[in-house]
Structure 1
Amino acid sequence: MQKKLPIGIASFEKIRSEPYYYVDKTPFVAKLVEEGTYYFLSRPRRFGKSLFVDTLKQAFLGRKELFQGLYLEKNWDWSVKYPVIHIDFGGRTLKGEEHLITYILEQLEKNQETLGVSCSEKTLYDICFEELILKSYEKYKQKVVVLIDEYDKPIFDCIEDRETVKRIRDILVKFYIILKPLDRYLKFVLLTGVLKFYMSSIFSGLNFLNDITLSREYSTICGFTQKELEEVFREELEDKDLELIRCWYNGYSWLGEPVYNPFDVLLYLEKRTFHPYWFETGTPSFLVKLLMEKRFYLPELEDLTATDDLIGSFDLDYIEPENLLFQVGYLTIKETIEEEGLILYKLSYPNKEVKISLNRVLFSYFTQLSSERPRLSLKMIEAVRERDFEKMKRVLESLYAGIPHDWFRKNELSRYEGYYASCFYAFLCGSGFEVIPEDITNKGQIDLTVLYRDRAYLFEFKVVEGEGGEGKALVQLKEKGYHKKYEGKSKEIYLIGIEFSSRERNIKDFSWEKVS
């Protein structure tokens, strides 16, 4: 019987009971249990966290028949079965404190039914949780396993409402803190989520958890490695371009081997078309608003430097774009630098899917030209392909002329010097071009480089207050000799100087020259 692709299935039992493809992550189950008791794992949405949690659940329940042929079959004590409390916050959007408390009580009641125990407390969720653990321990004469999936989703659901978020946080702190004094009754505890909150909030009471998010040993606990992809899906990949698949969907790194987003891979193999499947499952509106509020220079997304404390925890009272971008999966670790005890991380887009899709969204928010973007992108692609610089100029003039005037009045973005370059950068990335912002040479820094086939286009930007239009941007490009970096690498090299008038909010001068 031909195997099926387990798209969107988080049930380990279903995958193993039917002929689905399965990447064996059970060595991590054995490793976690052997090495500790309390864990926390953060990964972006739809990265296989829920399936891994369910795999743990079935192992602790002693379902040996589900693990035939897998690593755990011969590396687990199947003679012991444990009571498992499984709470999943990912199944419903929770808005407000009352809704959250009701949902927690529903989850606790569901676990009571599954475990065959009854708690006397029906309304106080924290006391009910404690009672459930103690009664399960008493009934089964075994320590209890607690698995909490998407622990942070109630906060994420209302993250734009700061006051509601704080009240939601307090409820969750009160709920999770129950675990700390019950050590003698607990066999294993795992919390998963997208965000790790700063120690002053939720994690102040969960500091006993071992955070394996940035552990090299567990870096591939979710997602597919290159080897896993090629071995498990060999038949599906026979006629596929592996390098192009890698470019589109691989690249996520948590200090170890880079991995593929499994959601993307499975949908690509089913539909046979490259598409931003994962990106479209989320709406980054809060993130985009934050980037605009901080006047973030978008080309910096290609190469950010962050400290371990910045990417390690999420502070609700002081949200930094770099932190949020990393934890939700729009940026990943590309390089680690250790210098005299200081650890720095180089962050960038994980892959082509995220780079193109995020910049399309950013361009639409920064310009209010979402409906015009496809047409302008096609015109720009034609202009670059045809070496038609007049058409390129007209595209850019149309781009900036199309931004509504009331957009500037509301946001004062035209006074932000990086705004014009940010719009242009997001536009080019969203159009699929290979873009290198702040391109370093031995003579200085090119504002932006576009590589297309065997050609290199080097851009210099200047924002002018007065009349401008003197071609100074192009002159600077020529004088600096930036083009020498691409001599011998590109058959054709073009220098393009662009001057923006902040008063007229459009291009004042567009000059170009071929140097090779």
Structure 2
Amino acid sequence: MKKIPIGRSDFKVLIENDEYYIDKTKYIEEFFKTDGSIVLMPRPRRFGKTLFLTTLKYFFSNQEKKEHLFKNTYIYNSDFFKNHFGKYPVIYLTFKDIRELNYDLMIEKIKGTIKVEIRRLLDSINVEEIENEIEYKVYLENILKGQASLAYYENSLKALSVLLTKYYNTPCIVLIDEYDTPIQTAYLENYYDKAINFFRNLFTAVFKDNDLYVKKALITGILKISKESMFSGLNNLRNLTILEDELSTACGFTKDETIRLMQEYKIEKELHEKAIKMYNGYIFGKDTLIFNPWSILNFVVEKKFKAYWANTSSNDFIRFLIGKSKDFRTNLEKLLKNESIEIQINENLSFRDGELYQKDNLFSFLFFSGYLKCKEKYIKTVDDEDALFCKLEPTNSECRMIFRDVIKSYVRDSFNNQDINELLQALVNGEIKLFEKLFSYLLRDSVSYFDTKNENSYHMFLLGVLTNLSYEYEIISNSEAGYGRVDIILLHKTDKEKPAIVMELKAIDEFEEEDKDDALNKAIEQIKKHSYISLVKKRGYNNILAFGLVFDGKRCWVKRI
């Protein structure tokens, strides 16, 4: 049985090691025949973008004609293979590891990346045989000698494409992997404008009005950064986001591919059906269901249900963005309950001036990054123009885990674990007055950090505390119970003798001149009136702790039934 290639992203290494490969070679021809000489194909992280680009590299490259790599693939016996295999010079750059703390370090690392690619491509040719093009020869020679200005690097890919085309008498294929990784880091580290300026100059030089020297180009990343800031003037750029049908299954696994993989590795039917449900798919194009390869492959190896995709460090940027957004906090409860939110989709995102924090932009970013999926899309007229709207919800269980982690981070950033642990211990032990006191302390210290303006804000804050119990307790939030919707229920997952906790939350309404006692009584009456305790009893718990929890600014009060 072939080894599962966890983290393997180079097509040649994967094939020569005889590791498991889901054949995506038919999309080589589809890419080549797409309209537009430059294709931007954003996809969520860990979806096989690099593997697809390296597949293209080894297929088209006239310097690395490794026919044996393709012998058992879909494309091998096709006319397209005969006409195009090994026929083009290929320029390949990846920026996936460029995450530097400042602009100067970023530039130095990019210089090294470009220099390595120039040397790789020029070592096998005699540049002196190329007539004229003295300026471009000087550019590349000075780069290799370490004597080039930044302007030389900005023009390096253009110079390389010209010289290679002249030498081989055929235009180049240009492949750029993870183009936006350094841009995201630059945004976080406050050198975004300088980074954008460099990449704009680099890409404009090689792609604008350079059709004689670039036959086809593919650029991958996580999202499409606005054309105005990154790809200005590129009229030959084709955007194939996850909303498009073209190349929709070139990266990621289809449902059939996922099931076949699990069957080949003899995953029990019950387990693989559960995996399909837990890691259920992303919707690409009109209605194509796609699964994240990272989670599926890890599951096949470990046969354990974990948040494989959620627990990678590349979620840090997402956590940073949604931690800054009040719009996200407002919709967080809906997302955790798998309810849809209606969003106007913006395909031209910009990092400038806090634009990503704006409601629709942030959710568009989360959509294109794979954290939300579109359950329904439709066109509405906005300011006399047609605009695309989607009803979005978390893509799967892993994404809901990430959103729960965001709530945790709200709390964790303000308090130490000892404070939280003492509060939670008081709660699960039924020490209600101690819980009231400790929770009031948390509110006192957090009111400037967490926007506690209404009942929903307190609800989210309390959930942030309670998620620290998620390994032991099932946390039910705003769910139907009895004759209404209960705010929060905690049920121990394994011991039904432990107290089952039922909470109804209220924020004091100053407009109605309500006091804490009125609010507490209303909370208690609501628990009784709507029979919230019936859900708990139905689940087999008889040791029940039910109480109202009332908030007013930096204080809370508790009243037990």
TM class, shorter-length: 0.7 to 0.9
**Structure 1 residue 463 corresponds to structure 2 residue 494:** no
1:125 to 129, 153, 171: 153
Q: 1:24 to 1:458 in 2, by over 3 A?
A: farther
2:81 to 77, 91, 99: 77
Give the SS at the match of 1:197. Answer: coil
Match of 1:272?
303
Give the SS at the match of 1:420. Answer: helix
CA distance in 2, matches of 1:311, 1:451: 42
The one-letter amino acid paired with 1:499 is: L
CA distance in 1, matches of 2:390, 2:5: 34
Match of 1:419?
457
Which moved further from structure 2: 248-257 or 77-86?
Answer: 248-257
Give the SS at the match of 1:275. Answer: coil
**Structure 1 residue 406 corresponds to structure 2 residue 445:** yes
The one-letter amino acid paired with 2:49 is: K
CA distance in 2, matches of 1:181, 1:32: 21
What whole-Å deviation, never above 9, does each CA across 1:348-400 have from its counterpart, x for those lacking one?
A: 222212212431343133354574699699979x97xxxxxx84968975883
Name stretches of at least 5 consecutive residues in structure 1 with no aligned partner.
Answer: 384-389, 512-516
Q: TM-score, structure 2 length as denominator?
A: 0.76
Q: CA deviation at 1:39?
A: 0.8
Q: CA deviation at 1:82?
A: 0.7
**Structure 1 residue 226 corresponds to structure 2 residue 266:** no
CA distance in 1, matches of 2:211, 2:461: 53
CA distance in 2, matches of 1:68, 1:505: 70
Q: CA deviation at 1:241?
A: 0.8
CA distance in 2, matches of 1:27, 1:268: 26
**Structure 1 residue 64 corresponds to structure 2 residue 67:** yes
**Structure 1 residue 54 corresponds to structure 2 residue 99:** no
**Structure 1 residue 319 corresponds to structure 2 residue 356:** yes
CA distance in 2, matches of 1:392, 1:188: 68
Match of 1:387?
none
CA distance in 1, matches of 2:356, 2:187: 11
What whole-Å deviation, never above 9, does each CA across 1:447-467 have from its counterpart, x for those lacking one?
A: 6789999x9999753212642
Match of 1:9?
8
Q: CA deviation at 1:44?
A: 2.2
Which moved further from structure 2: 74-83 or 166-175?
Answer: 74-83
- How many residue pairs end up in the alignment? 497
Give the SS at the match of 2:208. Answer: helix
Q: 1:228 to 1:102 in 2, by over 3 A?
A: same
Name stretches of at least 5 consecutive residues in structure 2 with no aligned partner.
Answer: 128-136
Which moved further from structure 2: 13-22 or 115-124?
Answer: 115-124
Trace 1:22-421 onto structure 2 (pairs within 5 A): 22-36=21-35, 37-61=37-61, 62-75=65-78, 76-80=80-84, 81-116=87-122, 119-121=137-139, 122=143, 123=148, 124-162=152-190, 164-178=191-205, 179-213=207-241, 214-239=243-268, 241-255=271-285, 256-282=287-313, 284-295=315-326, 296-297=329-330, 298-302=332-336, 303-310=339-346, 313-317=349-353, 318-320=355-357, 321-338=362-379, 342-367=387-412, 368=414, 371=417, 391=430, 397=436, 400=439, 403=442, 405-408=444-447, 410-411=448-449, 413-415=451-453, 417-421=455-459
Give the SS at the match of 2:250. Answer: coil
- Asked if structure 2 preserves the Cα contact closer than 8 Å seen for 1:471 and 1:499, the reply is no
Q: TM-score, structure 1 length as denominator?
A: 0.82
Q: CA deviation at 1:506?
A: 3.1
CA distance in 2, matches of 1:495, 1:316: 50
Percent identity between the aligned chains?
Answer: 26
- Asked if structure 1 preserves the Cα contact closer than 8 Å seen for 2:154 and 2:198, the reply is no
CA distance in 2, matches of 1:108, 1:258: 37
- Asked if structure 1 preserves the Cα contact closer than 8 Å seen for 2:177 and 2:219, the reply is yes
Match of 1:514?
none
Which moved further from structure 2: 333-342 or 243-252?
Answer: 333-342
Q: CA deviation at 1:150?
A: 0.6
Larger Rg: 2
CA distance in 1, matches of 2:218, 2:158: 16
Q: CA deviation at 1:225?
A: 1.9
Over aligned residues, Cα RMSD in angstroms?
A: 3.9
The one-letter amino acid paired with 1:120 is: V
Match of 1:386?
none
Q: CA deviation at 1:109?
A: 2.2
Q: CA deviation at 1:328?
A: 3.3
